């Protein structure tokens, strides 16, 4: 197109448009490009060349705004209103009451002292889950990527095997593991087969959290392994050859060469898995239902249940909790951007 | 030639338009959930209704029970509901129901046959609206695996046995036959409160406001708490999910893993069909406590929704389904306790039920006379779900070891207070 050059004779009836020229002799494309060229050139004259990119961004921005920014704004409106009504216009304004209710605590380290203890239990469970899930996820993904980067037999097969769970729906993953872990599941059959006592894995708080983390790592590890594997393969081989010529021990090569060179990829993996962990809902919800008690209740489940599942439908409180969660996720996203930018520079 | 063709085309279009007008149908959407085979029975009845009323088509949208409780209220609040729906939280959705009186030929028929239950479908202050009729009256009560008792050679406690006697017997049986669940109670506030009412729970103060935790309630909660500690109840049911989530033990009972299962009359059809002759099961009267031997009433109603564009057609359908003959067929084929006083008085034969199913229905029908006024009041209370939810959520936490029973009691009171305040905020 001729849009980038102010000197192009766009008003000329001749097919001077770049697009038209680039399409050769195809008459349909020629016609289309002529049709497009004319209003675009006019628009460019009207608003100036520098503003034209925003016109091209506009369709996406409209969709993004409609399905992301508008819901965020509506959510915020809900968070400052109360009552059971669904339409914001019918909901009484309550100011920051919902936030005050969420944050009303004797001590923030003791959920029992909080007015809305379920929210804080969700917060602490999510923190605990995120910490251990991310540690396990990054550690195991790194280990797996390093092994899969070696010249081992069946490397392609193992790469596919580790990636396969990523393709499964989280609900399917959780159901499979639920069947394995239940009273008469595969794992208990094995334990009792070896003479051990049956363990109620999903009815004991400690076990339930352990399996929630385990299943989540199992399901998503393949994706992060792939990112790290790509990073490992991007490290120039001559660096390793030089280290080999210096007879550098393998652990030293790993610590001093591989890890620093892989660091940008590791940062991406850490931040992505952290965001994903904070958002966790589906797998844990299907696997444990948030129980026993509230021992695996995550913040997102709290929001869902407060808004929809309690039959009291406290939309305002759920909206306030999701605004808080949104702020946390926004901070994590900013951190990721900062790290990524540092990596680029 | 061209003109002729055009004229012919126009004529054909006009004729087809006229024909489509002649066969114009009103389409009604009915949202429905099933515990057993009642969806199939309703489909049959609707087919017959459509044959008699060619201008009305009824689309039966069958959804899970969870969708009725969670999605339907949001749909209704958004004004996007169906024309009719089968609902269980009658008080909770009462404000979205349509009063059919102006469209019914004989509102007195509904008053006479569904009168006491219509109160459950009305918002506070409303004493006369008729939004629909009860598709089933339910009563909580226990099912017992008789075969396990026989195998264990333990005598079954009699009709007036207490909860403690049943717990001891069930535990003995479970120990002898290696059954993992001596007693299973649905993880539901409704089911727990049946037990609490037998222990003397009053649930309301003199002013009629909720005052959930009293001595009777504490006795009931302590029983359930202790049963989880001493193995009469397994943590897998009440302890395995969080918050207000419902968890039944139907599958465990059907797999002969439960000695005694406290659930309700709506399970009969399902058990009758799926257990077959795998083992003998019986329904027994609700065990007694110091106060009474009452179960909790409940049920589901088919109600008209306010936003319907076709109130006359909805009323016509409602009249058809609630009529003596059709309703009797529905209750009988679905193996439900009738929510129709006339039919209940005459009694039903339940021809399609096995002897076990018939016996179970008899036990539940007899249980209606044992209902405590507290149970009836709770069922009719518009915010009863708030109480059910708070109770189950907090007792679940105590059983999981996250809170003491005393802490749970405090939380139940504050949850009920806060949620009712939120629900009534204007």
CATH number at residue A292: 1.10.3720.10
**Mean pLDDT of the B132-148 span:** 95
**Mean pLDDT of the A219-244 span:** 92
Residue B365 lies in a domain: no
Cα torsion B236, B242, B248, B251 to 10°: value is: -50
- In the predicted structure, residue B63 carries a pLDDT above the cut 80: yes
- In the predicted structure, residue B421 carries a pLDDT above the cut 60: yes
> Residue A17 to residues A28, A32, A46: CA-CA distances in angstroms?
14, 11, 18
- In the predicted structure, residue A13 carries a pLDDT above the cut 60: no
pLDDT band for position B352 (cuts 50, 70, 90): confident
How large is the ipTM?
A: 0.80
The answer to whether residue A319 neighbours chain B at the CB level (below 8 Å) is: no
**Mean pLDDT of the A114-142 span:** 95
**Mean pLDDT of the B63-67 span:** 91
Residue A33 lies in a domain: no
Supply the pLDDT for residue A334. Answer: 87
Same domain, B403 and B415: yes
Rounded percentage of chain B residues whose pLDDT exceeds 90: 69
Residues whose CB is less than 8 angstroms from the CB of residue A137 and which lie 6 or more positions away in sequence, other chains included: A216, A217, A220, A221, A224, A269, A273, A277
Distance CA B341, CA B348 (A): 12
DSSP-assigned letter for residue A278: H
CB B143 within 8 A of CB B352: no
**Mean pLDDT of the B127-143 span:** 94
| Angle at alpha carbon of residue B148, lines to B145 and B153, rounded to 5° | 130
Same domain, B73 and B204: no
pLDDT band for position B11 (cuts 50, 70, 90): low
**Mean pLDDT of the A288-311 span:** 88
- In the predicted structure, residue B79 carries a pLDDT above the cut 80: yes
CATH number, residue B283: 3.40.190.10
In the structure encoding, which two tokens stand for residue A266, read together? Answer: 């590791």
**Mean pLDDT of the B112-137 span:** 91
B367-393: per-residue pLDDT in tens? 888 889 999 899 988 889 899 999 999
Supply the pLDDT for residue A159. Answer: 87
User: Which chain A residues have a beta carbon less than 8 Å from that of B239?
Assistant: 203, 291-293
Supply the pLDDT for residue B10. Answer: 57
Q: Which of B121-125, B225-229, B363-367 has the highest mean pLDDT?
A: B225-229
A190-221: per-residue pLDDT in tens? 999 999 999 999 989 999 999 999 999 999 99
Supply the pLDDT for residue B24. Answer: 61
A253-279: per-residue pLDDT in tens? 999 999 999 988 998 899 899 999 999
User: Shortest CB distance from B244 goes to which of A84, A117, A309?
Assistant: A309
Same domain, B173 and B287: yes
Lowest mean pLDDT among A1-10, B107-116, B198-207, B409-418: A1-10
Q: Which of A263-267, B5-9, B143-147, B235-239 has the highest mean pLDDT?
A: B143-147
Rounded percentage of chain B residues whose pLDDT exceeds 70: 94
User: Which chain A residues have a beta carbon less than 8 Å from that of B89?
Assistant: 311
Same domain, B64 and B98: yes
Q: Domain of B266?
A: 139-297+372-423
Q: Domain of A124?
A: 110-344
Residue A102 lies in a domain: no
Supply the pLDDT for residue B4. Answer: 58
How high is the mean pLDDT of chain A?
87
pLDDT band for position A86 (cuts 50, 70, 90): confident
Tell me which residue of B32, B30, B123, B129 sits closest to B83, measured CA to CA. Answer: B30
Same domain, B255 and B337: no
User: Shortest CB distance from A313 goes to which of B73, B245, B393?
Assistant: B73
Residue of A nearest to B422 (CA): A83
Contact B92 A311 (CB under 8 A): yes
Same domain, B75 and B192: no
CB B395 within 8 A of CB B212: no
Residue B77 lies in a domain: yes
**Mean pLDDT of the A23-29 span:** 73
Residue B15 lies in a domain: no
Contact A309 B243 (CB under 8 A): yes
**Mean pLDDT of the A216-229 span:** 95
**Structural domains counted in chain B:** 2
- In the predicted structure, residue A3 carries a pLDDT above the cut 60: no
Supply the pLDDT for residue A264. Answer: 87
Same domain, B378 and B276: yes
Residue A69 lies in a domain: no
**Mean pLDDT of the A167-194 span:** 94
Tell me which residue of B311, B320, B365, B356 sits closest to B338, measured CA to CA. Answer: B365
Rounded percentage of chain A residues whose pLDDT exceeds 90: 56
Same domain, B290 and B401: yes
Contact B70 A85 (CB under 8 A): no
- In the predicted structure, residue B154 carries a pLDDT above the cut 50: yes
Residue B9 lies in a domain: no
Supply the pLDDT for residue A11. Answer: 42
B300-347: per-residue pLDDT in tens? 999 999 999 999 999 999 999 999 999 999 999 999 989 898 998 888
Supply the pLDDT for residue B159. Answer: 87
* pTM for the full predicted model: 0.82
Residue A312 lies in a domain: yes
pLDDT band for position B3 (cuts 50, 70, 90): low
Contact A301 B419 (CB under 8 A): no
The answer to whether residue A314 neighbours chain B at the CB level (below 8 Å) is: yes
Residue B16 lies in a domain: no
| Half-sphere exposure in the Cβ direction for A163 (13 Å, CA) | 14
In the structure encoding, which two tokens stand for residue B150, read together? Answer: 């026989």
Burial class (CB in 10 A: 0-12, 13-18, 19+), B280: middle
Supply the pLDDT for residue B139. Answer: 93
Supply the pLDDT for residue A123. Answer: 94
In the structure encoding, which two tokens stand for residue B99, read together? Answer: 């009063």
Same domain, B52 and B82: yes
Same domain, B245 and B160: yes
In the structure encoding, which two tokens stand for residue B412, read together? Answer: 């139940």
Residues whose CB is less than 8 angstroms from the CB of residue A216 and which lie 6 or more positions away in sequence, other chains included: A129, A133, A137, A277, A280, A283, A284
Same domain, B206 and B236: yes
Contact A311 B385 (CB under 8 A): yes
Same domain, B76 and B195: no
Residue A59 lies in a domain: no
Supply the pLDDT for residue B25. Answer: 82
- In the predicted structure, residue A6 carries a pLDDT above the cut 80: no
Supply the pLDDT for residue A270. Answer: 92
């Amino acid at each position: 197109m001729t849009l980038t050059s102010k000197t192009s004779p766009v008003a000329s009836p001749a097919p001077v448009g770049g697009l038209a020229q680039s399409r050769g002799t195809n008459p349909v494309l020629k016609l289309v490009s002529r049709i497009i060229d004319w209003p675009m050139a006019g628009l460019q004259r009207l608003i100036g060349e520098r503003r034209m990119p925003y016109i091209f961004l506009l369709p996406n921005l409209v969709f993004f705004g409609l399905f992301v920014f508008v819901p965020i704004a509506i959510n915020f409106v809900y968070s400052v209103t109360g009552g059971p009504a669904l339409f914001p216009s019918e909901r009484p304004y309550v100011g920051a009451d919902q936030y005050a209710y969420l944050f009303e605590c004797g001590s923030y380290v003791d959920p029992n002292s909080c007015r809305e203890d379920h929210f804080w239990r969700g917060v602490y469970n999510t923190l605990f889950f995120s910490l251990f899930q991310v540690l396990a996820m990054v550690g195991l993904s790194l280990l797996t990527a390093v092994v899969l980067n070696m010249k081992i037999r069946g490397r392609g097969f193992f790469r596919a095997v580790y990636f396969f769970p990523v393709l499964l729906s989280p609900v399917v993953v959780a159901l499979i593991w639920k069947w394995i872990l239940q009273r008469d599941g595969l794992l208990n059959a094995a334990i009792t087969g070896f003479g051990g006592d049956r363990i109620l894995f999903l009815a004991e708080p400690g076990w339930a959290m352990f399996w929630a983390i385990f299943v989540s790592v199992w399901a998503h590890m393949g994706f992060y392994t792939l990112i790290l594997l790509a990073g490992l393969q991007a490290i120039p081989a001559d660096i390793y050859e030089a280290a080999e010529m210096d007879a550098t021990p393998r652990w030293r090569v790993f610590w001093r060469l591989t890890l620093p060179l892989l660091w940008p990829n590791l940062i991406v993996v850490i931040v992505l898995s952290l965001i994903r962990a904070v958002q966790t809902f589906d797998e844990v919800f299907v696997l444990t239902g948030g129980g026993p008690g509230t021992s695996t209740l995550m913040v997102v489940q709290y929001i869902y249940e407060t808004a929809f599942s309690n039959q009291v439908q406290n939309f305002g409180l759920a909206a306030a909790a999701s605004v808080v969660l949104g702020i946390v996720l926004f901070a994590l996203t900013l951190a990721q951007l900062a790290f990524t930018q540092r990596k680029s520079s | 030639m061209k003109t002729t063709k055009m004229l012919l085309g126009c004529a054909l279009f006009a004729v087809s338009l006229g024909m489509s007008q002649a066969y114009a149908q009103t389409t009604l959407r009915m949202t429905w959930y099933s515990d057993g085979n009642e969806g199939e029975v309703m489909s049959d009845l609707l087919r017959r209704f459509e044959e008699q009323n060619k201008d009305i088509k009824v689309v039966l949208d069958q959804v899970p029970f969870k969708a009725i409780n969670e999605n339907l209220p949001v749909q209704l609040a958004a004004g996007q509901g169906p024309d009719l729906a089968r609902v269980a939280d009658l008080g909770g959705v009462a404000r979205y129901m349509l009063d059919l009186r102006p469209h019914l030929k004989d509102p007195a028929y509904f008053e006479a046959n569904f009168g006491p239950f219509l109160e459950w479908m009305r918002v506070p202050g409303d004493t006369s609206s008729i939004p629909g009729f009860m598709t089933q009256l339910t009563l909580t009560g226990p099912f017992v695996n008789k075969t396990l008792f026989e195998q264990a050679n333990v005598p079954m406690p009699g009709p007036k046995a207490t909860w403690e006697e049943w717990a001891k017997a069930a535990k003995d049986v479970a120990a002898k036959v290696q059954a993992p669940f001596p007693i299973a109670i649905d993880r539901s506030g409704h089911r727990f409160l049946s037990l609490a009412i037998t222990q003397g729970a009053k649930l309301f103060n003199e002013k009629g406001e909720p005052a959930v935790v009293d001595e009777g309630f504490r006795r009931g909660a302590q029983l359930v708490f202790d049963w989880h500690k001493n193995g009469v109840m397994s943590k897998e049911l009440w302890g395995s999910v969080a918050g207000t989530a419902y968890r039944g033990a139907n599958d465990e009972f059907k797999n002969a893993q439960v000695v005694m299962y406290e659930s309700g009359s709506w399970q009969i059809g399902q058990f009758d069909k799926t257990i077959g002759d795998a083992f003998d099961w019986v329904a027994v009267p609700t065990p007694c406590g110091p106060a009474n031997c009452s179960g909790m009433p409940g049920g589901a109603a088919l109600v008209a929704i306010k936003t319907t564009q076709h109130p006359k057609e909805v009323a016509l359908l409602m009249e058809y389904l609630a009529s003596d003959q059709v309703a009797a067929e529905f209750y009988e084929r679905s193996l439900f306790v009738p929510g129709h006083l006339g039919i209940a008085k005459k009694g039903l034969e339940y021809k399609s039920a096995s002897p076990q199913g018939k016996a179970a229905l008899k036990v539940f029908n007899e249980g209606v006379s044992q209902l405590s006024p507290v149970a009836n009041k709770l069922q009719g209370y518009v915010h009863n779900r708030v109480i059910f939810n708070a109770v189950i959520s907090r007792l679940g936490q105590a059983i999981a070891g996250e809170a003491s029973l005393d802490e749970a009691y405090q939380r139940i009171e504050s949850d009920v207070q806060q949620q009712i305040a939120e629900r009534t905020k204007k």
